[in-house]
């Protein structure tokens, strides 16, 4: 397949999830038995960086372990393509503006070659197959798929304030899908068939390098390596340098909190990995210029570690920071919130629809909708580590119940069964 990158993440065993709930485990294995040998082709726009790649790195091996023939294909496109798709993403998350005719034509024309190739490949395959198209970047591929193939569209973004003209442009493709999966009922466009829309939350892999337990010695080692002083308070956000993640709002909150906690440090971890987010580099450069003289502000934009080591560093950061923040303005569902909650952290999250599903304000973390509110909660949690721990414990419990991969797989397996 010339137009796609075929990705093969390391194997994983679904058996390890049995301890997180016998019933859900059994339902998964029973469904999987009926689906043995089913071809599932997941298509997205990047093999690295961002939540979708993070999800597929786990979903593909687990589906394979359950007996499905799952594949992961990422489109290969030049950076201009991703500038257009990031614009579509921004419009769908509520930015003003519109797509010009040349932008629409460019986007659709670029996907013609990959669409034809994928269509041909699927026509040559024997047996049943399901295609899962992740996010609008690859949505028009649906036009090229044989009628015998069931197509699921998985939208990961926050569509509560979607730009109408952008949605209208995508509507003919969405209407063709047999199922559309969203992360919140409010993300379903009003015209989209209710009976074919499914709400399913993303999930994390508790056994991955990013989420497994780490000793304090390992955590300390990583902080030292990057010159971050663990003897002083640390506030952290792990996110692409995307305006929706509100890095400037986090910095504002940090300076407000620093008035009461003069030794406070801020780590913004946001490596520029996701090919489909070309905007990140500009945001990162601007912030780096503006704040280069603050030795307590760590803006981390490049990956200097090997992949495994990098995952461990993010793990260490989410565990070792005094306060974890995810101050997004829009968020379909923030995997970073769930990752930190799994580590028993009380996360301070922005009042975005997706995050409101993950954090119950005052119960297992805090929801904030301004830099001032965020700063207030940062100071409170740094000064009251016991409160942080108490809320964090409840956050972890919620993740165990709702946001681990066993539940995500059950959702998908049930959809596959309904379709084939």
Decide if residue 335 touches ligand UDP (CB under 6 A): yes
> Which residue pairs, CB below 8 angstroms and at least 24 apart, start in 254-257?
254/297, 254/375, 254/378, 256/371, 256/372, 256/375, 257/374, 257/375, 257/376, 257/378, 257/379, 257/382
Decide if residue 271 touches ligand UDP (CB under 6 A): yes
Q: How many CA atoms lie within 13 A of 80 on its CB side?
A: 10
**Nearer Cβ to ligand UDP (31/358):** 358
**Residue 219-248 contact track with ligand UDP, rule CB under 6 A, x = bound:** -------------------xxx--------
**Nearer Cβ to ligand UDP (63/339):** 339
Q: Which residue among 77, 246, 269, 296 contacts ligand UDP (CB under 6 A)?
A: 269
- Cβ(31)–Cβ(414) below 8 Å: yes
**Residue 283-322 contact track with ligand UDP, rule CB under 6 A, x = bound:** -------------------------------x--------
CA distance 274 to 170: 23
Q: Would you call 206 helix, strand, or coil by DSSP?
A: coil
State the burial class of residue 195 (Cβ atoms within 10 Å of its Cβ: 0-12, 13-18, 19+): exposed
Least distance from C-beta 215 to ligand UDP, angstroms?
20
Sheet order of strands, 234-238 included: 297-300, 265-269, 234-238, 323-326, 347-350, 365-368
Q: How many CA atoms lie within 13 A of 265 on its CB side?
A: 20
**Nearer Cβ to ligand UDP (188/240):** 240
Paired sense of beta strands 179-182 and 197-199, if any: parallel
Q: Which residue among 85, 339, 340, 359 contacts ligand UDP (CB under 6 A)?
A: 339
Least distance from C-beta 73 to ligand UDP, angstroms?
19
Task: Give, as one character, the DSSP assignment of residue 9.
Answer: P
Q: Where are the beta strands (DSSP E) in 327-390?
A: 347-350, 365-368
| Count of other CB atoms within 10 angstroms of residue 42 | 25
Decide if residue 114 touches ligand UDP (CB under 6 A): no
Q: Which residue among 50, 349, 365, 395 contacts ligand UDP (CB under 6 A)?
A: 50
Decide if residue 325 touches ligand UDP (CB under 6 A): no
Instruction: Name residue 73's beta-bridge partners.
Output: 6, 43
Stretch that binds ligand UDP, among 29-37, 106-114, 264-272, 291-299 (CB under 6 A): 264-272
**How many positions of this chain bind ligand UDP (CB under 6 A)?**
14
**Nearer Cβ to ligand UDP (166/314):** 314
Stretch that binds ligand UDP, among 48-56, 61-69, 167-175, 211-219 (CB under 6 A): 48-56
Q: Which residues bind ligand UDP (CB under 6 A)?
A: 50-51, 54, 238-240, 269-271, 314, 334-336, 339
């Amino acid at each position: 397949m010339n137009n796609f990158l075929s990705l093969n993440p390391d194997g994983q065993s679904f058996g390890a999830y049995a301890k997180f709930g016998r019933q859900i485990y059994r339902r998964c294995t029973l469904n999987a038995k009926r689906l043995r040998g089913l071809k599932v082709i997941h298509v997205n726009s990047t093999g690295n960086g961002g939540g979708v790649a993070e999800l597929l790195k786990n979903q593909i091996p687990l589906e394979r372990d359950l007996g499905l023939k799952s594949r992961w294909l990422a489109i290969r496109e030049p950076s201009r393509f991703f500038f257009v798709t990031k614009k579509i993403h921004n419009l769908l998350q509520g930015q003003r503006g519109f797509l010009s005719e040349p932008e629409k034509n460019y986007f659709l024309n670029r996907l013609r070659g990959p669409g034809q190739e994928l269509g041909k490949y699927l026509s040559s395959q024997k047996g049943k197959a399901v295609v899962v198209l992740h996010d609008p970047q690859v949505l028009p591929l649906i036009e090229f798929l044989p009628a015998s193939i069931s197509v699921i569209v998985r939208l990961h973004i926050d569509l509560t304030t979607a730009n109408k003209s952008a949605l209208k442009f995508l509507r003919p493709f969405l209407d063709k899908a047999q199922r559309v999966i969203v992360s919140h009922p409010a993300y379903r466009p009003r015209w989209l068939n209710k009976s074919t829309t499914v709400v399913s939350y993303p999930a994390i892999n508790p056994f991955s390098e990013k989420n497994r337990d780490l000793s304090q010695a390992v955590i300390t080692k990583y902080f030292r390596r990057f010159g971050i002083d663990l003897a002083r308070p640390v506030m952290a956000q792990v996110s692409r340098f995307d305006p929706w993640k509100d890095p400037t709002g986090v910095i504002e909150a940090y300076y407000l909190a620093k008035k009461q906690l003069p030794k406070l440090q801020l780590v913004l971890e946001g490596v520029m990995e996701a090919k489909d987010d070309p905007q990140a580099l500009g945001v990162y450069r601007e912030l780096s210029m503006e704040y280069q003289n603050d030795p307590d502000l760590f803006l981390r934009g490049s990956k200097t570690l090997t992949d495994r080591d990098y995952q461990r560093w993010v793990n260490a950061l989410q565990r070792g920071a005094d306060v974890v923040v995810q101050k997004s303005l829009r968020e379909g569902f923030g995997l970073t919130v769930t990752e930190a909650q799994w580590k028993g952290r009380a996360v301070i999250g922005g009042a975005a629809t997706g995050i409101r599903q993950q954090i119950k304000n005052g119960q297992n973390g805090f929801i904030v909708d301004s830099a001032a509110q965020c700063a207030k909660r940062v100071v409170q949690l740094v000064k009251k580590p016991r409160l942080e721990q108490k809320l964090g414990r409840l956050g972890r419990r919620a993740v165990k119940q709702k946001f681990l991969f066993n539940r995500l797989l059950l959702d998908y397996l049930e959809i596959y069964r309904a379709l084939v």
